[in-house]
Structure 1
Amino acid sequence: MTSLKIMADFSSAHHADFVTTDAAELASHMDHCASAHGRFFPLQSALQSVHAVVSPRIVTVGVLALIGFGLLALA
């Protein structure tokens, strides 16, 4: 276990040195990123992109979905 990994396990309040704290937080972040890149990572990224586009326009998307379902019901 590296010293950065050990330091990442402690809270930031235990460190007086900001550089050490930043390095520990970076190591923790890098570990999290490495574990997040699983087999569903491309799907998760695509869903986050869709969410970013759709969220601000949720009412518009809802109305368009209702119109689309209405047209399908009439067909």
Structure 2
Amino acid sequence: MLCSWDPFNALIISEFSGIVKFDSIEEGVTYRQERDDQTGFTEKVIIESKNKKKVPAISIVSPSGDELKNYAPSRRSLSISRR
């Protein structure tokens, strides 16, 4: 399954293919785990870091090595996970 639809959230799906890399996404520093009491699911939510040098970002690297970097603003849910 590529994704599941949640009609109560605005989803952003990338039109780029490649490998996803996280930059400065660290638990307790730039994100926290939040549990939804109704569904029981846990998700990662980007938070503001006290360390201003830690700017959370998601990079998509294409097979040819081109990199597109998307910053992850505060209070965004992160539904990508590492393998």
TM-score (norm 1): 0.21
Q: Which structure's residues are more often helix, by fraction?
A: 1
Higher Cα radius of gyration: 1
Q: Which structure's residues are more often strand, by fraction?
A: 2
TM-score (norm 2): 0.20
Q: Which structure carries more relative contact order (alpha carbon 8 Å, separation 6+)?
A: 2
